[in-house]
Amino acid sequence: MVGRIDGGPRSAVVVGAGIVGLSTAWFLQERGVEVTVVDRASVAAGASWGNAGWIAPGLAIPLNEPSVLRYGLRSLFSPTAPLHIPVTADPGLWAFLTRFAANCRWSSWTRAVRANLPFNEECIEAFDVLTANGVDAPTIDAPITAAFRTQRQAQGLLRELRRMADAGQPIAHTELTVDQLREHVPLASSALTTGVRVEGQRYLDPGAFVQALGRAVVARGATIRLFEAAGVRTHSQGVTVYPRTGPAVSADVAVVATGAWLSRMAREWGVRVPVRAGRGYSFTVPVDHPVPGPVYLPDVRVACTPYQGALRVAGTMEFRDPDAPGVPARLDAIIASARPLLDGVRWDERTDVWVGPRPVTPDGRALIGAVRAPNVYVASGHGMWGLAHGPITGRLLAEQVTTGKQPAALREFDPLR
């Protein structure tokens, strides 16, 4: 590799200032690499800001379950369904969904679970490395409580947890009676009668954390440039990232961590696995009672998190262009589904309304590693778990970039598969 000193590059340009890109930048700096970060908007401008803020390895369940295929087909006829697939003429979307459907089988799902095992085992520790070394933002230990109308509904999550354990990831959890559920979720309405508490998880304020990570990367010597990358070109001296207008940025290597926008660049580098935007919506609402920890409403696929003295509510998986405007009906659908389940929530006083594109792959596995273009690496496709897996992705990818060797934990995420 051009520019290596003692086996590593001197400089890198990281395209994307979300949790994945900034984590990669931070761990590259740990290995002595000078970093420039490029983003088209700002730090934490994409999916890193408005997500639920869960560091939840116990719930990093791949999307491509067989049941999701049946659910998705039904959702075609319901604009308010939590999983929404708009009926459009977009051939790229239908090609993606065809591949996704082919991977909605237990063998593919199990492969994704096993691929995620080392990430789930080390993701919390990777956050601790960051917060112990200059990233001034807390992560908060708390179980995640899943709440259900009926015991039968709870059995669905319990079956998923058993399948995760069978695939190699046992998850500590406790079934809750109605009284225990009220204790853990003071906002639970009388419609909720049973719960499952998933132990050993954490949560954070995602926007604040990624902003703190960006400040730490700059404090360690990085430069952040704001422009939209129009292309990445390789040459004998390394790589150059070109903006649509203005001066380019050159370095020994480039890491492209542009989330749901990755496929726009990566096709020319031999990346055949597409990345599509599975957009999520969130907002913040005041509550009448303190919320002790995150709450999951699996039946309506809504995640609720304590946030700045209020409650962040997040939900929906909407397959639409990442730059498309928000659809008010999706927000209304989240509120309509969650309102009967939670008391003491002032739904009409919501603020911080947000829509962001999660990067989804058809086989449930992220794309992390080297591509065919020399000295170019990618990191995307984490689906709903980009926040939780961002720091460990950065640590492992920085190892590959600086040593030239693919860590064993990244083999299943090879972007050229």
CA distance 298 to 357: 20
Residues 6+ apart with CB under 8 A from 313: 282, 283, 284, 285, 302, 303, 304, 334, 335, 338, 350
Greater confidence, 20 or 69?
Answer: 20
pLDDT, tens digit (0-9, with 9 covering 90-100), for 149-191: 999 999 999 999 999 999 999 999 999 999 999 999 999 999 9
* Pairing between β-strand 376-380 and β-strand 367-370 as defined by DSSP bridges: antiparallel
pLDDT, tens digit (0-9, with 9 covering 90-100), for 373-394: 999 999 999 999 999 999 999 9
Q: Is residue 45 over pLDDT 90?
A: no
pLDDT, tens digit (0-9, with 9 covering 90-100), for 300-349: 999 999 999 999 999 988 888 999 999 898 899 999 999 999 999 999 99
Neighbours of 333 (CB within 10 A): 23
Over residues 200-217, the mean pLDDT reads: 96
Q: What angle do CA 290, 294, 299 make, to 5 degrees?
A: 115
pLDDT the model gives residue 42: 85
Residues 6+ apart with CB under 8 A from 126: 23, 391, 392, 394, 395
Q: Is residue 294 over pLDDT 60?
A: yes
Distances (CA, A) of 106 to 50, 97, 109, 164, 363: 31, 17, 5, 11, 11
pLDDT the model gives residue 89: 63
pLDDT the model gives residue 49: 87
Q: Is residue 86 over pLDDT 90?
A: no
Q: Is residue 76 over pLDDT 90?
A: no
pLDDT, tens digit (0-9, with 9 covering 90-100), for 103-145: 999 999 999 999 999 999 999 999 999 999 999 999 999 999 9
Q: Is residue 196 over pLDDT 60?
A: yes
Q: Is residue 82 over pLDDT 80?
A: no
- Domains of the chain, with CATH numbers? 66-89+138-202+275-360 (3.30.9.10)
pLDDT the model gives residue 1: 34
pLDDT, tens digit (0-9, with 9 covering 90-100), for 228-287: 999 999 998 899 999 988 899 999 999 999 999 999 899 999 999 999 999 999 999 999
Over residues 356-365, the mean pLDDT reads: 95
pTM summary value: 0.93
